[in-house]
Structure 1
Amino acid sequence: MSITKIYKLSILTVFLSFFGCENKPKNYPFLKDFISYLTYFNQNTGLSADFIPLDEQGNEMQRIDFVKVLRKKHCIPIREEEDGKVYYKLYRLDNDKSPVNDQILTTVAQFAEIEENFMSYEGKLFPTFNVLDLKGNQYDNQNTQDKILVLKTWFIRCHACIEEMPAMNKIVKEYENRKDVLFLSLADNDATSLQRFLAKKRFDYQTVANQEDFIQKTLGFTSYPTHIIVSKSGKILKVFSDGEKYLPYYLTKFLK
């Protein structure tokens, strides 16, 4: 091969690499249909997890920027691990305009929108509150200072809220000797309905009734369950929806 041809080939390789073509399509088995990818996503790449975000070329990027890219419906996150660290790398999927890919991209964008909203709370002060639980105990911003506040929003007819309760009870049991951790649930339902329900279904969080306005208007949450971890100084540390998946990890992280 002539020197001129080698030179032209090298220039072409650099050109393609610069525009991200090294992230060429792969035969990932989980992309064969929507259910396969959704299973992969739920088991491997929950966006509330603690991961290192990478762009299409493998460069580290800000988490918020990573989520914003996913919202544009061009890329999906692919999980990678190296030296004990977990990375999510952007993988471009919009090159193939198949119905399956469009459904995958749309769903990932919806998850990304939820996560971007959750991230917007981090670092902000938890709103002013003053509530009584079903046992008559009072909680407010002052008497919960110097405690890690672990909150869950829920309502009786929320299947996901009820399904995770046994896992939440195990976590409460694990921290029962920690006086600096308070588990408090904010429920939409009235006290009578909650007392009737909790007489049959064990839930070890302290429960506060009639919190729909506070949850939806003050906090701005419309999906259930939503979990919030608040620091001892009253700042929101983390917000997520899957308590069973994320709460054990983040409590360990924040209580170090």
Structure 2
Amino acid sequence: MKFKTILYTLSLCFLLALVSCKNGETEKTASFLEGLTEIPEAEFGKYAAELDKVVFYSTDGATLEEEELNDYFSEGARPVLYKDANDKLILGVVAPPTDEQKKSMEAMMAQFEAEEAKLQEAIGTPAKSFDLVDYEGNQVTSNELKGKITVVNFWFKECKPCIQEMPELNELVETYKDNANVQFMGFSTTAKDRLPSFFEKHNFDYRIIPDSQSYAMQNGITGYPTNMIIDQEGNIAFLKTGFIPGIAENIKAEIENLL
């Protein structure tokens, strides 16, 4: 659904972007909200994986159709999410966007497009060199890029959209597991000592390089996740920021183009 893509892609964590502007209070006494608790904006990221199952209502309790909901979100409406006593996301409430929210969305879109355009200027330029240590304690340098197609993912532990795209990225690794000319590297800004607990719950089959904040900054990465492909000559051939449904297919198409 288009509005979920908007929610995922317009901020560093891609779920908090649309909740910075306050709108009118919802009718908390409405019967359809009885027994539910409003979820603080700071916790929105926890429920990213559940958004596809959520039904959104107007403030008077009417179910919002997808087209109307898309219009609201695309114009900057702020969602209000509700959970039950078991901390489960139950429903969302959305009011028409205020003038302030519309202006905020316009400014946010302009900023996002400007940053994306600036990022695309790197296409065709040499990738930044690096000398780091991977999660297993092995030295990894930019010399390992030579002659190979290197698929890169910039991510961090708390980034829910980063986690959401990992399964399809893992499938990509499986697809090219027997091709020595394609390698996958996951540069994480998260410190190594904070990753063991993450990998107890999640699998990411890229070669993980933790403590990579400086390398991300050198490449001008400001949004997460960011996917990049470095060609056999060491030049950047592909660069996309944000949660993009089906990103693995986009990456695969570029890999096949380079092989």
Band of TM-score, shorter chain: 0.5 to 0.7
Q: How big is the alpha-carbon RMSD for the aligned residues of Structure 1 and Structure 2?
A: 2.7
Partner of 1:236: 236
1:222/1:100 CA distance change after superposition, 3 Å: closer
CA contact (8 A) 2:229 2:238 kept: yes
Cα distance in 2 for partners of 1:185, 1:207 equals 5
Partner of 1:221: 221
Gaps of 5+ in 2: 1-66, 77-98
Cα distance in 2 for partners of 1:146, 1:182 equals 11
1:165/1:233 CA distance change after superposition, 3 Å: same
- The answer to whether structure 1 residue 253 and structure 2 residue 254 are counterparts is yes
Partner of 1:35: 73
Partner of 2:182: 181
Q: Which secondary structure does the structure 2 equivalent of 1:152 belong to?
A: strand
Cα distance in 1 for partners of 2:69, 2:165 equals 29
Pairing of 1:191-206 with structure 2 (within 5 A): 191-206=192-207
Give the TM-score of the pair, scaled to structure 2: 0.57
Q: By how many angstroms is 1:211 displaced?
A: 1.0
Give the TM-score of the pair, scaled to structure 1: 0.58
Cα distance in 1 for partners of 2:68, 2:112 equals 18
CA contact (8 A) 1:30 1:36 kept: no
CA contact (8 A) 1:151 1:227 kept: yes
Q: By how many angstroms is 1:100 displaced?
A: 8.0
- Amino acid corresponding to residue 194 of structure 1 in structure 2: L
Q: By how many angstroms is 1:136 displaced?
A: 3.1
Partner of 1:54: none
Gaps of 5+ in 1: 1-28, 39-97
Cα distance in 2 for partners of 1:118, 1:175 equals 27
Per-residue CA deviations over 1:141-161 (Å, capped at 9, x if unaligned) read 222211111111111111111
CA contact (8 A) 2:151 2:227 kept: yes
Q: Percent identity?
A: 26
- Amino acid corresponding to residue 138 of structure 1 in structure 2: Q
Pairing of 1:140-159 with structure 2 (within 5 A): 140-159=141-160
Per-residue CA deviations over 1:129-177 (Å, capped at 9, x if unaligned) read 1222112333222222111111111111111111211121111111212
Pairing of 1:65-144 with structure 2 (within 5 A): 102=103, 105-144=106-145
Per-residue CA deviations over 1:182-217 (Å, capped at 9, x if unaligned) read 11011112222112311321111110111112212x
Q: Which secondary structure does the structure 1 equivalent of 2:227 belong to?
A: strand
Partner of 2:33: none
CA contact (8 A) 1:33 1:100 kept: no
Q: Which secondary structure does the structure 1 equivalent of 2:180 belong to?
A: coil
CA contact (8 A) 2:75 2:101 kept: no
CA contact (8 A) 1:127 1:219 kept: yes
Larger radius of gyration: 1
- Amino acid corresponding to residue 236 of structure 1 in structure 2: I
